[in-house]
Amino acid sequence: MKVILRFFLIALTILALPSIVPGITVTGFYAAVVAAVLLGLLNFFIKPIIGLITLPLNVITLGLFGLVINGFLLWFVATFVNGFTVAGFWPAFWGGLIVSFIHWVGHKVIE
């Protein structure tokens, strides 16, 4: 049940991103849910591998390179989901930062 709540929290965050970050568009709740599910799957399966590969860069930047990875993953998700677009790196970076922050807050509240 907690996983479903987190997915819907991320979907609502993705749905709200266009009003916060210029350059991101979402056409509807369905596109936001699909983007949230795909982003969750990428974060579960792919992000640990990317994190391991970029570990030296993460150590040098004191973990801030993880925010760049989040932005790239959000941008990557936008290439596959119809109705969810990200115009470039900076909107993806700020969108990834917001999604990560809301996910962190939601994790603390739901747990």
Burial 26-55 (b: 16+ CB within 10 A, else e): beeeebbbbbbebbbebbeeebeebeeebe
Question: With 90 as the cut, is the pLDDT of residue 1 above it?
Answer: no
pLDDT at residue 104, rounded to an integer = 94
Q: How far apart are CA 108 and CA 46, in angstroms?
A: 23
21: which 2 tokens? 């970050």
- Per-residue model confidence as pLDDT tens digits over 5-61: 999 999 999 999 999 999 999 999 999 999 999 999 999 999 999 999 999 999 999
